[in-house]
A = this chain, B = another copy of it.
Amino acid sequence: MPATPEVPDGKRPTLAHVAARAGVSVALVSIVMRGAYGASAATRERVLKAAEEIGYRPDTRARVLRSNRSRLLGVQFGLRHPFHTDLVEGIYAAAEPAGYQVALSAVAPTRGERQAVEALLADRCEALVLLGPEAPAARLAHLATQVPVVSVARRLRPAPPAVDVVRTADDEGARQAVDHLVALGHRAIAHIDGGRAPGAADRRRGYRTAMHRHGLDEHIRVLPGGLTEDDGARAARTLLAEKPRPSAVLAFNDRCATGVLDTFLRAGVAVPGEISVVGFDDTSLSRLAHIDLTTVAQDVPRLAELAVGRAIARLDGEAVPDGEQVVAPRLVVRGTTAAPGTD
């Protein structure tokens, strides 16, 4: 029996198996598998053939162990947030061309942010990209002492040193929405907010400031909301019960806006005829033909690209200036907004 059997039973083939089969050294197989310089074309072909035949597959875990780099980006996200899943798609698209792998760690009912991050770190991720993290700023700062940390869509005030923030100019987005509505002729514009959700404070502030600038202070109206459809529906029911109803509503996000829309439709309140509705995020939800929601788009590919780029820059030891990267939002006008009283 040979020292290294060609077909290792139920076990995973290794470099040694390939080497034995191809009749070369292990080191040479390593060179070939990495596509590195130092093997002749003929050998290369023999080795690749042998690897193919026994179904060899490089073991990333062993590889990482040796080379001190893992080239792994850890991403924490919420399974239930469409905005997060959209971002994850963008992160894959940005990371892989840069030569980085992505490790996903979801936040779920049975799995908090702490666990999600611990898993990523134990897995040797070189940097952490956290989508809408709700952990205390101090915790993020502590993490950042161990590994580069990028907070996406969650502003941190005061900014802890070394924690990068990539976010949309939420206040500016709210302003664009208000400007649009005012230009259409609206005056009584209400805002259904996101409570303590990441970004909510800025959107609220942006709304208030914009209303003030238009001299509409007396129409400022912030209703408690949240980030789910139910939150939006609840706030919408409050509005329905009112005598002079606002003629337009800016919701915290698209999910919230969807809840508002649906509640109005069911109550026979025409949108945008009787009331205009604006969302936030431009998730796939709002783009659907039958929702057709006017919304403030976050530039997801750009956010993903910046987040990945920032993490990589830190890893490459570039002198990255502290400070946020703020991406401009863009209002997308669709079918849920119109001049008031357009019935």
Contact = CB atoms under 8 A, between A and B. Distances in A.
Given A57-B122, A65-B62, A265-B265, A290 B229 contact: yes
Nearest to A263: B290
A110 B62 CA distance: 27
Interface stretch (A39-47, A84-92, A203-211): A84-92
A88 B65 contact: no
Interface in A259-304: 259, 262-263, 265-266, 284, 288-291
B60 A124 contact: yes
Interface stretch (A16-24, A100-108, A215-223): A100-108
Contacts of A146: 55
A47 to B, nearest CB: 18
A232 to B, nearest CB: 8
A229 B60 contact: no
Contacts of A70: 61
B64 A288 contact: no
A59 interface: yes
Given A259-B290, A288-B233, A288-B259, A89 B60 contact: no
A61 B65 contact: yes
A118 to B, nearest CB: 8
A88 B60 contact: no
The copy count of this chain in the complex is 2
A60 B123 contact: yes
Given A61-B61, A80-B284, A265-B266, A230 B289 contact: yes
| Interface size range on A against B | 35 or more
A93 B106 CA distance: 12
A109 interface: yes
Residue from A65, A230, A288 whose CB has the most chain B CB atoms within 10 Å: A288
A106 B92 contact: yes
Contacts of A111: 92, 96
Contact of A123 (B61, B228, B262, B265): B61
A79 interface: yes
Contact of A89 (B85, B92, B109, B290): B109
Contacts of A93: 108-110
A119 interface: yes
B124 A108 contact: no
A80 to B, nearest CB: 7
Interface string A309-336: 0000000000000000000000000000
A278 to B, nearest CB: 18
Contacts of A59: 65, 122, 124
A195 interface: no
Given A62-B65, A65-B65, 5 more contacts: A12-B124, A57-B122, A58-B122, A80-B284, A93-B108
18 contacts: A11-B68, A57-B118, A57-B121, A62-B65, A65-B65, A88-B106, A88-B108, A89-B106, A89-B108, A92-B106, A92-B111, A93-B108, A96-B111, A101-B119, A104-B105, A229-B288, A259-B290, A262-B291
